[in-house]
A and B are shown apart, each in its own frame.
Chain A
Amino acid sequence: MIHTFEMFDKYIALDVNSGCVHELDKLSYDVLNFLDIKGLDPEDDEALFKTVGEFRREYSSEDIAEVIEDLAELKRNDMLWAEDDFVYNDELKKNAPVKAMCLHISHDCNLRCKYCFADEGKYHTDCRELMSAETGKRAMDYLVRNSGSRRNLEVDFFGGEPLMNFEAVKEIVSYARELEKKHDKVFRFTITTNGILLNDDKLDFINREMGNIVLSIDGRKEVNDRVRFRADGTGSYDSIVPAFQKTAESRGQDNYYVRGTFTRYNLDFSKDVLHLADLGFKQISVEPVVCGEETDYSLREQDLPRIFDEYENLVREYVARKKEGRGFNFFHFMIDLDEGPCIIKRVSGCGCGCEYIAVAPNGDVYPCHQFVGSEEYKMGSIYDEGELDRDLRNKFAACNIYSKPDCRDCFAKFFCSGGCVANACLINGSINKPHKLSCEMMRKRVECSLYAKAALAE
């Protein structure tokens, strides 16, 4: 399976099953596409005969022969037209230990962001609630107990707004550090915050203890404040920007992300990414909002051409700034072509409901943070003696790119791993039916990422 595309001055081919990426000139691009569409094998004489016939007015037969020989060599080396002969065993996932936990330390928030999937912190329940330090500690025990031989364990403090319950965060971290020594584990903590309560004391603790911090901001002031505001309606931009800049600098401009959401209100979102870069941030992630089509800010299919243009605008500037020595990282354009994850990880995806679980303030367990509050997806509790709901666990374990018909013929499948199952469930009612709009945007981002690789390899 081969995917080819043109972007700006580049002709690129991705051999999906080997993961090989090739940059071609126009002649080899045309010949490759012709052979692929016609189903011709470059090692057969017929391929040369038919290709010369097709392109005789544009290219010499000597040049075509040379290209076909090169394509045949790549095929022999499994770098083009490689077969998808990988056999995935989902039994591995069914019995996989838990290695990552999203700890809902606060189901309360001091912002009222318009698009909040977490229902402004309440997670579709009637109450705002903070997790007790005791429940958090029991969650750490649960994680260690169920982590088997996995050494690296991840815990993300999430909300609502985690800084509204920071004393509990500190107690839980301290307790987990004791467990590390006893059980030969390594806890990697992360925290996601809107920044309203971020101060020097909290930042000192976070910098000492947390491997990553996610800072929520959407970009330009007018864009951010239109959707990210307090209960009294005032926007968050002015108070969070200085705090976030200080945070980024204090962490050496690494191991953090400023993370935004773009909506239909700012389809010119490349300006927001560049605004964040102009504020001095080097680690940036801005992602499409995911929600039903019933709101005025939700993205629609008709917006895709505009969104694709924006991603192209962004990648052009992204490459230019990198070349000028004033680059930044954009999370969705970062692809590791050589040292990335193994195919098993790429097929199985995020591992939610198996390797990754979310714990609500009362100790209830869900497949991931997006499912919290949904009774149908409650898997059990950290206080239960027995194992989590086996049927639910098996259902999530069996979810992978081969179980999703929409993924089978998608060139991006080994890059996105089938996308977010919670979004699939929200939009299509099934964890095995990916959200089409998200897929379209993912494919565009993969193309932009590969273009950036080619452009920066010059």
Chain B
Amino acid sequence: MKRIKTLNSATLKKSACKGGCGECQTSCQSACKTSCTVANQKCENEER
């Protein structure tokens, strides 16, 4: 595609299959800790 550049693959839906293991870091979203965007948390699921 010469006019559209896609930056990433569509992984969000697929992540439901092996997701939810809960081993990832807690993501506090208040303003008093290293917080807010859940989307920068690393997935720590060893079986995905």
Q: Enumerate chain A residues within 8 angstroms of B41, measured Cβ to Cβ.
A: 336, 340-341, 345
Distance (whole angstroms) from the CB of B45 to the closest CB of chain A: 7
Distance (whole angstroms) from the CB of B47 to the closest CB of chain A: 12
Number of A-B contacts (CB under 8 A): 210
Please name the residue on chain B nearest to A417 by beta carbon: B38
Please name the residue on chain A nearest to B48 by beta carbon: A342
A20–B6 contact, CB under 8 A? yes
A23–B5 contact, CB under 8 A? yes
B30–A370 contact, CB under 8 A? yes
- Residue A339 at the B interface, CB < 8 A? yes
Bitwise interface map of B from 19 to 47 toward A, beta carbon under 8 Å scored 1, else 0: 11011111111111111111111111100
B6–A22 contact, CB under 8 A? yes
The range of chain B's interface size is 35 or more
Please name the residue on chain B nearest to A70 by beta carbon: B1
B4–A96 contact, CB under 8 A? no
B31–A338 contact, CB under 8 A? no
State the CA gap A351–B42 with chains docked (Å): 16
A266-295 residues with Cβ-Cβ distance < 8 A to B are 285, 287-290
A55-84 residues with Cβ-Cβ distance < 8 A to B are 66-67, 70-71, 73-74, 77-79, 82
B24–A345 contact, CB under 8 A? yes
- Residue A48 at the B interface, CB < 8 A? no
Report if A150-B25 is in contact (Cβ < 8 Å); known contacts: A70-B4, A331-B40: no
Distance (whole angstroms) from the CB of B5 to the closest CB of chain A: 5
- Residue A51 at the B interface, CB < 8 A? no
Q: Enumerate chain B residues within 8 angstroms of A261, measured Cβ to Cβ.
A: 31-32
B3–A70 contact, CB under 8 A? yes
Q: Enumerate chain B residues within 8 angstroms of A449, measured Cβ to Cβ.
A: 37
* Interface-side segment among A123-131, A135-143, A230-238, A418-426: A418-426
State the CA gap A446–B47 with chains docked (Å): 29
- Residue A310 at the B interface, CB < 8 A? no
Listed by A's residue number, 25 A-B pairs whose Cβ atoms lie within 8 Å are: A21-B8, A23-B5, A25-B4, A82-B10, A100-B26, A152-B23, A152-B25, A152-B44, A192-B33, A259-B33, A261-B31, A289-B31, A331-B37, A338-B8, A338-B9, A340-B40, A342-B18, A345-B24, A346-B12, A369-B30, A369-B32, A369-B33, A416-B39, A422-B30, A454-B7
Interface set of B (CB-CB < 8 Å, partner A): 1, 3-13, 15-16, 18-20, 22-45, 48
Interface set of A (CB-CB < 8 Å, partner B): 15, 17-25, 27-28, 66-67, 70-71, 73-74, 77-79, 82, 85-86, 92, 96-97, 99-100, 117-118, 150-152, 154, 156, 158, 188, 192, 212, 214, 257, 259, 261, 285, 287-290, 331-332, 334-346, 349-352, 355-356, 368-370, 414-417, 419-423, 442, 445-446, 449, 453-454, 457
Q: A21-B8, A416-B36, A442-B36 are in contact. List 12 more A-B contacts (CB 8 A).
A: A25-B4, A85-B13, A86-B13, A152-B23, A259-B34, A338-B11, A341-B19, A343-B15, A356-B26, A417-B29, A421-B29, A423-B31
